[in-house]
Amino acid sequence: FTRSPKGFPKLKNDTFLRAARGEETEHTPVWCMRQAGRYLPEFRETRASQDFFATCRSPKLCCELTLQPLRRFPLDAAIIFSDILVVPQALGMEIVMVPGKGPTFTEPLKEVEDLLKLRQKVDVTAELGYVFQAITLTRHSLEGKVPLIGFAGAPWTLMSYMIEGGGSSTMAKAKSWLYRHPEASHRLLRLLADVIIDYLVGQVAAGAQALQLFESHAGHLGPELFQDFALPYIRDIAQAVKSKLKEEALPLVPMIIFAKDAHYALRDLARAGYEVVGLDWTIRPQEARAQVGKDVTLQGNLDPCALYAPKEKIGELVKKMLESFGTQRYIANLGHGLYPDMNPEHVGAFVEAVHAHSRHINKH
């Protein structure tokens, strides 16, 4: 039995995939986290009348939103429009998008007993098949222009949302579980990891050509908590996804781990089984390279707020970044997602500067 992605258009620009695997590239590939987003007027138009999660459940809208930035900018990869919170939804939790506040759980997990309310066995095709359909449709619609990235949130990040009920500046409720209820925390993290593994494998079966795992809330943990409650699951996900892809005769796609604000764990992350380690803007490129070594590709690191600078300045910052990282075994990106009030022209300036400067550096 194989769910092998078949009949997709031939890929014309594989620069991103080659850089992810550590092969030589003529230019440094570039994409942006949240490149499909509110900074684009066409995104706001498409999304205007729709509930956020209803948009996530519409393969046609997800496809349109994923393609919008590629019509404007010569990006080297597309990332499927979706949200990390579709996994807690698949576990049976209800989430609403509150204007001005963001995603909000109607009934967050308060007591250990609340874990029993979660679905213990999730059929990802039944619960998240709409994401798979969106990926397949988008992969066809891309016509081989660039590769399509699939993604998921990592267990700790999802757990923190499920307990906090939304965003939080301290994550005190979620972290209190790690200290007060370590066994229950591990049960929840294990349940999440199992769903994430099936979900990521399903994304590849549907046509995703790379996968990114977002540990967005890593910065709330210190080295010890990260070692106990985040890293083991991050490692396990890479290993299990790869062995399931082999079992199902699916393509072995490159995997990216992005653990925001976790430079204390870079050495471990570099050995966690991912081809690419994503970086936020709070670490020096040379330091990151020294810690991860030569066998892993690095991604990211420009402060998103740099895009508020004049275009010439953006070019200078990009040049400096490329000189620091080197143009090979590197994927240019921001250190976090694009913000809604950013000028699309400045995003274009960033993308073009990466291509121009990396080509120039490679020639000389």
Query: What residue ranges do the domains of the chain occupy?
Result: 14-363
% the chain with pLDDT above 70: 99
Spatial distance between the Cα atoms of 202 and 233, rounded to a whole number of angstroms: 18
Spatial distance between the Cα atoms of 269 and 284, rounded to a whole number of angstroms: 17
pLDDT tens digits along 31-86: 999 999 999 999 999 998 789 999 999 999 999 999 999 999 999 999 999 999 99
Give the active site residues. 34, 38, 47, 83, 161
Spatial distance between the Cα atoms of 287 and 347, rounded to a whole number of angstroms: 26
Residues 6+ apart with CB under 8 A from 14: 147
Residues 6+ apart with CB under 8 A from 8: 139, 140, 144, 207
pLDDT of residue 100: 86
Please determine, for residue 2, whether its predicted confidence score (pLDDT) is greater than 60. Answer: no
Please determine, for residue 308, whether its predicted confidence score (pLDDT) is greater than 70. Answer: yes
Please determine, for residue 6, whether its predicted confidence score (pLDDT) is greater than 90. Answer: no
Least confident of 6-15, 189-198, 306-315: 6-15
pLDDT of residue 251: 97
pLDDT of residue 1: 42
| CATH classification for the domain delimited by 14-363, as one of 3.40.640.10, 3.20.20.210, 3.30.70.920, 3.40.50.720 | 3.20.20.210
pLDDT tens digits along 166-196: 999 999 999 999 999 999 999 999 999 999 9
pLDDT tens digits along 270-290: 999 999 999 999 999 999 999
CA distances in angstroms from 244 to 168, 251, 265, 270, listed in the order given: 35, 10, 26, 21
pLDDT tens digits along 312-338: 999 999 999 999 999 999 999 999 999
pLDDT of residue 4: 57
pLDDT of residue 49: 79
Q: In the sheet that 78-79 helps form, which strands lie side by side, from edge to edge?
A: 78-79, 148-153, 210-215, 255-259, 276-279, 297-300, 330-331
Q: Is the pTM of this model over 0.85?
A: yes
Please determine, for residue 97, whether its predicted confidence score (pLDDT) is greater than 60. Answer: yes
Spatial distance between the Cα atoms of 344 and 91, rounded to a whole number of angstroms: 36
| Mean per-residue pLDDT, 227-233 | 98
Spatial distance between the Cα atoms of 113 and 3, rounded to a whole number of angstroms: 37
Please determine, for residue 302, whether its predicted confidence score (pLDDT) is greater than 50. Answer: yes
Residues 6+ apart with CB under 8 A from 226: 218, 262, 264, 265
Least confident of 57-66, 96-105, 222-231: 96-105
Residues 6+ apart with CB under 8 A from 260: 214, 215, 216, 217, 218, 219, 280, 336
| Mean per-residue pLDDT, 90-97 | 97
Which residues on neighbouring strands pair with residue 302, listed in sequence order?
334
pLDDT tens digits along 338-362: 999 999 999 999 999 999 999 999 9
Burial status of residue 291 (CB atoms within 10 A of its CB: 0-12, 13-18, 19 or more): middle
- Residue 34's closest CA among 357, 218, 307? 307
pLDDT of residue 48: 83
| Mean per-residue pLDDT, 115-125 | 97
Please determine, for residue 3, whether its predicted confidence score (pLDDT) is greater than 80. Answer: no
Please determine, for residue 5, whether its predicted confidence score (pLDDT) is greater than 70. Answer: no
